[in-house]
Structure 1
């Protein structure tokens, strides 16, 4: 077996077809089914911008109408497609010790009409910006990882304004939910659907929520959840509470063990770890599990991170460190989803259109994730070291685009789209000028 054996366009073509076939039955008519397949394929292409216009041109359509109709008026259930993709990932990556990872990401947006948009903090910008926040759920096991679900976050400014919600097609029964409540809802849905998982890992936004932690214990899911340095740790059965950073400061040198949290791009991610077993037991003394505090210390900067842990059965430090390290796969999935399949490039305002675009983007991401896992399997079977790094999602998408996707090269088609865009933009400009003139006349 050679290094080139892991690059197999025929096998990747079958993977792409398998992902598309997994939810093809959700479309009652052949036209939206074909459009959805072209949409997902277009998201895998080398288009710099992946909106309906560009995707339609890539697919060889004369106009963007079919792509826009798919996101707006076509009859299909985005959550049903989500269920099919989730089942496919369970079959491909499923493992009893897999980790479910909720996290959020923001997209900077202009205006006030796009669903969920307001001035709010987003980690994408690292500050408060006019943005839209989505809460996502990732699935990670030894076989691979990808995003499997999503929810758009609606701030109170939206849920308290039902006229604004109706204008964005938000269902009347959708009320305010915190981000941790959205995450809990997705976790419950995944478990109810039979997703095999033994753990949950998440950052401070979820770990600091006692309600979220209790929800996981009710489902028997072990967890390794980051908490803030000021988080109060219950000791002595809850009789005393001490800040997490103070607990770390009182530890002797012998309490720390050096372990790797997994492989990184620059080598093993080695940290010092301290594990305080049988603490944090104030929540539910009858839950039958084991509460503990895990502390991570950067061996160079001495920076600390803190995790509240719970397991339904006895566990080891190595297992907790593994779960803590796996949480970073959700960041890799976000990066791949945005840079490779255009997760943040949607130009939709409505509730239903956002959920439709994002699930099709997750379908394209699933293609890359499965292809990457497939390539890794064949690379690990190679008898000798090829001297190459493993195929990344970025490289796989390039190869898929080169070997499978056939970009439209007909000049007449390109000239047609150039004229269509210029005509559409001229009409839009005229409409803006007319609207502005009317406003000035009214004043």
Structure 2
């Protein structure tokens, strides 16, 4: 991991004093197709399939704050196809030849490994179903019962969920899709 990102991650952990790290994907709606990684894909931000980029991030979260520790841009399979159009888009966006499609959970796992290599490890790691399966399959210790996984933890339940709910802004302050 780059020195700048390492220093930023350590500063964020010191400032936020996280109770958990949150693995999340965020959609960035786009009108065109010329930004890196743009494709028609599901976006939780949009609540539907739409033209967007997807960013994957690891956030440090506490009762009072949240801050990204690391982030990656998801590259859909359409950007990896050996077709002249896909190759031209990659060149125009300056995507290195070494970068290819990887599942979102793999991006998250790579970021967790990078952060661990700098000495940072989460007390608790929370992720939705998009990430959970891949993380559990490759790192059973992250999800095995009795080894840090709480099978009762579901959206809206448990102390961690309550802390995270309290840290979100009131719903009236957040723009909702279509409204």
Normalised-by-shorter TM-score class? 0.7 to 0.9
Alignment check: 8 A CA contact 1:115 1:132 kept: yes
| More helix by percentage | 1
Matched residue of 1:152: which SS? Answer: strand
Match of 2:92 among 137, 162, 167: 167
* Alpha-carbon spacing, 1:143–1:194, altered in 2? closer, same or farther (3 Å): farther
Which residues of 2 match residues 38-57 of structure 1 at below 5 A? none
Looking at structure 2, the residues matched to 132 and 329 of structure 1 have their Cα atoms a distance apart, in angstroms, of: 28
Q: Secondary structure at the match of 1:169?
A: coil
Show the counterpart of 2:160.
323
Q: Does 1:145 align with 2:66?
A: yes
* 1:299-350 Cα shifts (integer Å, max 9, x gaps): xxxxxx59xxxxxxxxxxxxx9223445558966xxx9x99xxxxxxxxxxx
CA RMSD of aligned residues (A): 3.3
Assess if the C-alpha contact under 8 Å between 2:37 and 2:76 holds in 1. yes
In structure 2, relative to structure 1, the CA distance for the partners of 1:181 and 1:327 (3 Å cut) is farther
- 1:295/1:174 Cα in 2 relative to 1: closer, same or farther (>3 Å)? closer
Spell out the pairing of 1:328-339 with structure 2 (5 A cutoff): 328=165
The alpha-carbon deviation at position 144 of structure 1 amounts to 3.6
Report matched runs for 1:47-86 at 5 Å.
79-86=2-9
SS class of match (1:81): helix
Say if 2:63 and 2:163, in contact at 8 Å, map to a contact too: no
Contact 2:63–2:167 (CA<8 Å) still a contact in 1?
Answer: no
Q: State the alpha-carbon separation in 1 of the partners of residues 94 and 167 from structure 2.
A: 29
CA shift in 2, pair 1:205/1:153, >3 Å: same
- On the 8 A contact 1:92/1:143 being kept in 2, the answer is no
**Structure 1 residues not aligned, in runs of 5+:** 1-77, 224-279, 282-287, 297-304, 307-319, 340-443
Tell me, which stretches of 5 or more residues in structure 2 are unaligned? none
**CA distance, structure 1, for counterparts of residue 51 and residue 44 of structure 2:** 12
Structure 1's 213 and 324: CA in aligned 2 closer, same or farther, altered over 3 A? farther
1:181 equivalent in alignment to 2:101: no
The 2-side partners of 1:166 and 1:120 are apart by 22
The aligned residue for residue 289 of structure 1 is 147
Corresponding residue SS for 2:6: helix
Instruction: State the Cα deviation string for residues 130-149 of structure 1 (Å, max 9, x = none).
Output: 11111111102457421222
Check conservation: 1:137, 1:186, Cα contact below 8 A: yes
1:213 is matched with 136
Aligned to 1:100: 21
* Contact kept? 1:140, 1:329, Cα under 8 Å: no
TM-score, L = length of structure 1? 0.33
Aligned length: 168
- Taking structure 2 as the reference length, the TM-score comes to 0.76
| Deviation of the 1:293 alpha carbon | 2.4
Q: 1:329 to 1:137 in 2, by over 3 A?
A: farther
Paired residue secondary structure (1:129): strand
Residue 331 and residue 176 in structure 1: after superposition, are their counterparts in 2 closer, same or farther (change >3 A)? farther
Deviation at 1:88, TM superposition (A): 1.0
Q: Does 1:132 align with 2:49?
A: no
Distance 2:148 2:71 in 1: 30
Alpha carbons 1:100, 1:201 under 8 Å: kept:
yes
Distance verdict in 2 for CA 1:213–1:114, change over 3 Å: same
- Residues 63 and 164, structure 2, Cα contact 8 Å, conserved in 1: no
| Structure whose CA Rg is larger | 1
User: Using the alignment, how far apart are the partners of 1:329 and 1:89 within structure 2?
Assistant: 20
Secondary structure at the counterpart of residue 116 of structure 1: coil
Task: Give the superposition deviation at 1:196.
Answer: 4.2
